[in-house]
Amino acid sequence: MAAPADPQRIVIENCAIATVDADDTEYASGYVVVAGNKIESIGAGKAPEGLANVVRRVDGTGHLVTPGLINTHHHFYQWITRGLATDHNLFQWLTALYPTWARIDEQMVKAAAQGSLGMMARGGVTTAMDHHYVFPKDSGDLSGAIIGAASDMGVRFTLARGSMDRSEKDGGLPPDFAVESLEGALAATEETVKKHHDASFDAMTQVAVAPCSPFSVSTELMKQGAELARRLGVRLHTHGSETVEEEKFCHELFGMGPTDYFESTGWLGDDVWMAHCVHMNDSDIAAFARTGTGVAHCPSSNARLAAGIARVPDMLKAGVPVGLGVDGTASNESGELHTELRNALLINRLGAHREAALNARQALRLGTFGGAQVLGRATQIGSLEPGKLADLVLWKIDGIGHSSIADPVTAIVFGAAAPVTLSLVNGKPVVENGRLLNVDEDAVARSARDEAQRLARIAAEA
């Protein structure tokens, strides 16, 4: 029998490196050797001599290498409804947009997914996620379109298959025609997991069970959704404790606050992560820490909708896993994750802990290893260590935006969004010199605009 083929190697040298490993190891000038889809070695100075099968050498002079960024909360379809309801709080904003969102179809969702993914990949995201929960009747294979777009882009991806079954007639916010039935939502979610979820170490596609939020989902769907995820061995995701209005809604409808409601429906656990978690008291944070429930912190969206400041320093201190999220681009038009590193740091310093809230290294950790933790992939991605998957980014820090900033990590967190010279996902290039390699950016921009206009037309006629 022939020996297994020696994997192809990519050698990156002469760059600063922030590994984001458990010790926050950094190298002022170091190397990374990628073999196949994994990191083979990493260290200070030059790469080892005599490596076989090197197909590419990258001179990383003037760059910082970090793990690829990991986005933990998004709604791709909102890419084609950006710039609407710009001065609203969450419930006003939802009520304004649901009637339009309820008209989406497969072609629109595909264009929106391409736009969302393209913007994130260009900005150093190597693992994306989409929480998709609007499935109008006869709108086509929306999950398939989203997963196809991620695969075309070349990024690692988690689809959080969402659902809503509490419409206006049941005291919820979405219009009646925008929701699924309890049975329909559960069956479609199970089918999506069975068709697309890959549990392997180097999976490019995973699926989570993700009813939308307490105010758009029945208690039965929350409970049975949790049971379904555990039966199938996949993760659970939803929105939690985003606004004061939501807290009030939970008290009125369920006679308890959001965290107690989640606990009563089986929604606290180390297989669960929730977006936002802004309005959490000490016992809520303790419950998340005790159960290992994760948080997707979305600072720009929380600011855009005036939701408040999540208590990230307190969560980290308690041991809650925290990642970063763009959130849907109808509440964060930029759609970039690297700016969330900066916003997480700055917004948290406006909270109770002031200048001690977060530092640059902690912000980078939220956007990388923290994201891997909440997606359940901390052994595979999120830090640069031998044996982990080769998802990494070369940030250019010798240009006008960054060359005079004293420290490389400070440069990419406190400074402007740094240009991406190269990003690798699973050992393969996805971005080179700021451009997407696998899709035509201009075509993506055109089709997103066309589909946004088509959706606006259909919504206006309805």
Least Å distance between CB 75 and Zn ion?
A: 6
Distance in angstroms (rounded) separating the CA atoms of residues 404 and 406: 6
Judged by CB, which is closer to Zn ion: 121, or 275? 275
Judged by CB, which is closer to Zn ion: 31, or 76? 76
Distance in angstroms (rounded) separating the CA atoms of residues 202 and 183: 32
* Packing angle, helices 441-461 and 106-122, rounded to 10: 140
> Nearest residue by C-beta to Zn ion?
327
Q: Where does this chain touch Zn ion (CB under 5 A) — which range of 85-93, 273-281, 376-384, 425-433?
A: 273-281
Least Å distance between CB 274 and Zn ion?
A: 10
Least Å distance between CB 186 and Zn ion?
A: 21
Site for Zn ion in 128-187 (CB under 5 A): none
- Give strand pairing partners of 33: 11, 41
Sign of the dihedral defined by the CA atoms of residues 17, 22, 24, 27, in that order: negative
Judged by CB, which is closer to Zn ion: 19, or 331? 331
Least Å distance between CB 261 and Zn ion?
A: 18
Least Å distance between CB 438 and Zn ion?
A: 26
Q: Given the structure tokens 């904003």, which residue do they identify?
A: 93
Q: Where does this chain touch Zn ion (CB under 5 A) — which range of 96-104, 119-127, 195-203, 267-275?
A: 267-275
Site for Zn ion in 274-313 (CB under 5 A): 275
CB 47 within 8 A of CB 31: yes
Distance in angstroms (rounded) separating the CA atoms of residues 404 and 416: 12
Site for Zn ion in 311-370 (CB under 5 A): 327
Least Å distance between CB 197 and Zn ion?
A: 21
Site for Zn ion in 75-134 (CB under 5 A): none
Judged by CB, which is closer to Zn ion: 327, or 336? 327
Judged by CB, which is closer to Zn ion: 216, or 265? 216
Burial 243-276 (b: 16+ CB within 10 A, else e): beebbebbeebeeebbbbbbbebbbbbebbbbbb
Name, in order, each residue with C-beta under 8 angstroms of 350's C-beta and a sequence gap of 6 or more: 309
Distance in angstroms (rounded) separating the CA atoms of residues 82 and 78: 6
Question: How many residues interact with Zn ion (rule CB under 5 A)?
Answer: 2
Q: Where does this chain touch Zn ion (CB under 5 A) — which range of 136-144, 214-222, 268-276, 394-402?
A: 268-276
Judged by CB, which is closer to Zn ion: 275, or 363? 275
Q: Given the structure tokens 């369920």, which residue do they identify?
A: 254
Name, in order, each residue with C-beta under 8 angstroms of 194's C-beta and a sequence gap of 6 or more: 232
Least Å distance between CB 124 and Zn ion?
A: 21
What phi, psi does 220 have (nearest 5°)?
A: -65, -40
Residues that bind Zn ion (CB under 5 A): 275, 327
